[in-house]
Amino acid sequence: MALYTLNTPPPMERPVLIFGLAGWGDAASAASSAADWLAEDGQPIVTFDPDAVFDYRSNRPILRFSSGETQTLTWPRMEIVHVRPSGRDVLVLVGNEPDYGWSGISDALSDLAQHLDVAHLVTLGSVPTPVRHGMDVAAFCTASDPRLLLPGDEMLIDEIVVPASAATVFRFAVEEAGIPTIGYWAQVPPYVGRPYHPAVIALLRKVSDQLDTDFNLSALEEDARTQIERLDEIISERPEIAQFIEGLEESIGATSKIPEDLPTADELAEEVMKYLRNPDLEES
């Protein structure tokens, strides 16, 4: 069974490769939504065989019904899509974080990056952090080559030990092939619904800077404003939620930096569930 299918790529000049998979390291779906936005209407170049990389009990196909009849069956996917924003060649790895074959996929992506003459790799991620919701979202970065750092990029300099996402594992393989890499991680409140539009925008702005091009984010910005207004409305009606969020703000003071005693995602989730059993919030 072939791990992936490589379609004939269009002529490309030193494309930038973007990773943004749904799954671990994708809090509030910010990273995967940013990647999907980038890849919209793009041409699939590489398609991984879902039978080879997914456990359908954890990444189940999605059925859609209408009037009692099955309309569509959508399988989990992982593919590389080619787009050309403002004439710049970009390859975007989109889809679901795979369940199987991480070592083989790492080798495949390393080989593909070299075969397609990738200039550098940008990985996207998002993490739950004790911050309040708002239009401005902080993002920190890690980089294999400091020359990829741009004005305003804030490096994560603390030593941390965390479970790896598939994208970071794949990034390591691309780094070992000698291709420069940089990763951006948006900080999202632990109580927001998905996708969290302000974080999607923050990541897309980082990609825009890396590509030295402009994106029209006006529709996303309107969605973000609506989402923030809805969150403010919910909080104004629920004093216990306001109290919880005030506690988050006090835990980090006036800085957007990640505190050294950052609770784990499970610890945050446990606290959030005490206060935020509100279906309306998930729809925001």
pLDDT along the chain (284 residues), means of 10: 91 96 95 98 96 95 89 94 94 97 98 97 93 88 92 81 90 97 94 91 97 95 93 80 73 48 42 47 42
Positions of E strands within the chain: 4-6, 16-19, 43-48, 62-66, 69-74, 78-83, 90-95, 120-128, 139-143, 154-155, 181-188
Q: For domain 4-282, give the fold.
A: Rossmann fold (3.40.50)
pLDDT of residue 129: 86
pLDDT of residue 86: 87
Q: Where are the domains of the chain?
A: 4-282
Q: Alpha helix locations (H) across 122-217?
A: 166-176, 197-211
Tokens of 94: 């989109």
Q: What is the pTM of this model?
A: 0.85
Q: What pLDDT score was predicted for residue 253?
A: 52
- pLDDT the model gives residue 252: 57
* Residue 20, SS3 per DSSP: coil
Q: Write down the pLDDT at residue 126.
A: 96
Query: Can you give the pLDDT at residue 225?
Result: 94
Q: Is 157 left (phi over 0), alpha (psi -120 to 50) or beta?
A: alpha
pLDDT of residue 255: 45
